[in-house]
Amino acid sequence: MRFLPLAASFAIAFLSLAAAPPAKKPAGAAKPAPAAARPGSVKGDPYSVTVPVDATAASVSVAQSNAINGGRARAWSELSHRLVPQKDWAKLTSLDNAGLERLIRGYTVANEKRSTTRYVARITYIFNPGAVRHLFRVANIGVSEQPGTAILVVAMSPTYSAHSPWAQALAERKYASAQFPLVAPVGDGVDESSLGSLHFAEASWGQVQSAASRVHAGEAVLVQASNPAASHMTIRMRRVGPGKPVVLADIDVPVAAGTPPQKAYATAAELAEAAIEDAWKTRGTIDLNKKSRIVAELRITSLEQWNNMLARLAAVPAISDVSVVAMNTGEGRVAISYTGTPEQLRTVAAQSSLSFAERGGTWWISPGKPAAEDTESE
């Protein structure tokens, strides 16, 4: 492929960048978000956290202020634990009110109650993803940048039954706003037919996919529990689905004598779901100490498309620098510096609707999600 001289490349790149819209001004201090601008109120947003607040003071205005400040700190604790693998929680440091305000776009209030000295409410704090990611990077804490695709959790004891105590225990705990939402099957006759015949060690994605699609899940975890009446329960977990495999270790759950089965199952469900969420966070966490660089090709149909591609690349959290190597009519070549592995780059880029694919030793960037042939499968 023939390219224009590098000087011409920079000239074209300069013109395209000049056409880009101006950067948005940073938001000011956190304040209640207006009804027309509540990005964090969307169900499933991993950067929104709802906590109950309750404070008493000499006046209701002071109580309200104390409640909002206290809730902000609790919301940050929940969010940071949601995004960061458990092995890195010790690296998290506490933030004062000013530091927390810089991370929050705004908040919404529900179920508000007041007296002359007390304030009670449920507050949803809407965090700024860019500011949160920057804070983690400065602290050298890796954070998972994967899209939050729902995960179907299939309870098996030893096979699937929607009305079994184990299935009901797992269905009780569903993290609708977690980074990787865990969802239970619909549990009707259709699911009983497709999931009831599964064998834990042999089940394939093809056997589970129809049940997963009904709850908009892109992958699944089979969770098999042993007898809750024994002194120890063993929880075995196996991920099935397209893309990169995830290894899930067995969980040993001690059961005290006389513990009701429902309570044993509830404890096991909590441990299993925490392990699943942490495994997915670890899978997608970018290693901040690993720096890489690739040269990739792009097909360009217009100046507008080129400008859009540059903007999308700039929005990819793992990418630290993009430079133009060469350009020609309809084609371009860029050098990209990024943090993490090539697989993580591809995963993160997909959030900005960019596909990174390696074909014949050459990297190609194109708009849209990665094609099936560009990803690993089990």
Q: Print the SS3 string covering 73-100.
A: HHHHHHHHHHHCCHHHHHHCCCCCHHHH
Q: Which residue has the tokens 């009701």?
A: 260
Cα dist from 191 to 20, 276, 328, whole Å: 49, 22, 54
Same domain, 237 and 363: no
Same domain, 110 and 177: no
Q: DSSP labels for 104-120?
A: EEEEEEEEEEE-SSEEE
Distance CA 363, CA 296 (A): 5
Residues 6+ apart with CB under 8 A from 192: 160, 161, 162
Q: 343: closest CA among 366, 313, 298, 375?
A: 375
Distance CA 91, CA 86 (A): 10
When divided into structural domains, the chain yields a total of 3
CATH number at residue 53: 3.10.28
Same domain, 170 and 222: yes
Residue 76 lies in a domain: yes
Q: How far is C-alpha 188 from the geometric centre of its chain's CA atoms?
A: 29
Domain boundary among 239, 258, 284: 284
Residue 90: give the domain boundaries.
48-127
Domain boundary among 234, 267, 284: 284
Q: Which residue has the tokens 């964090």?
A: 40
Residue 133 lies in a domain: no
Same domain, 84 and 199: no
* Beta strand residue intervals within 103-231, DSSP E: 104-114, 118-127, 150-156, 182-183, 217-225
Same domain, 97 and 200: no
Cα dist from 42 to 72, 126, 255, whole Å: 19, 10, 39
DSSP H stretches of helix in 186-260: 189-195, 205-214
Cα dist from 204 to 195, 216, 224, whole Å: 11, 18, 15
- What is the pTM for the complete model shown? 0.53
Same domain, 169 and 273: yes
Domain boundary among 253, 284, 315: 284
Q: Report the alpha-carbon angle 367-82-203, nearest 5.
A: 70
Residue 164 lies in a domain: yes
Same domain, 97 and 120: yes
Distance CA 165, CA 179 (A): 27
Same domain, 154 and 122: no
Residue 332 lies in a domain: yes
How does pLDDT run along the chain (378 residues), one tens digit per residue? 444 443 444 344 433 433 344 433 333 334 444 333 333 333 457 788 999 999 999 999 999 999 999 999 999 998 888 888 777 888 888 899 899 999 999 999 999 999 999 999 999 999 998 888 888 877 877 766 555 578 899 999 999 999 999 999 998 755 544 566 788 999 999 999 999 999 999 999 999 999 999 988 889 999 999 998 889 999 999 999 987 678 889 999 999 999 999 999 999 999 998 888 888 777 666 666 677 889 999 988 888 888 888 888 877 877 888 888 887 888 888 999 887 778 778 877 876 778 898 888 899 998 876 654 444 433
Residue 143 lies in a domain: no
Residue 324 lies in a domain: yes
Residue 223 lies in a domain: yes
Q: Which residue has the tokens 């892109």?
A: 218
Same domain, 266 and 294: no
Find the distance separating the first CA and the last CA of the chain, reported in whole Å: 36
CATH number at residue 361: 3.30.70.100
Same domain, 167 and 270: yes
Residue 279 lies in a domain: yes
Same domain, 180 and 160: yes
Same domain, 183 and 262: yes
CATH number at residue 247: 3.90.950
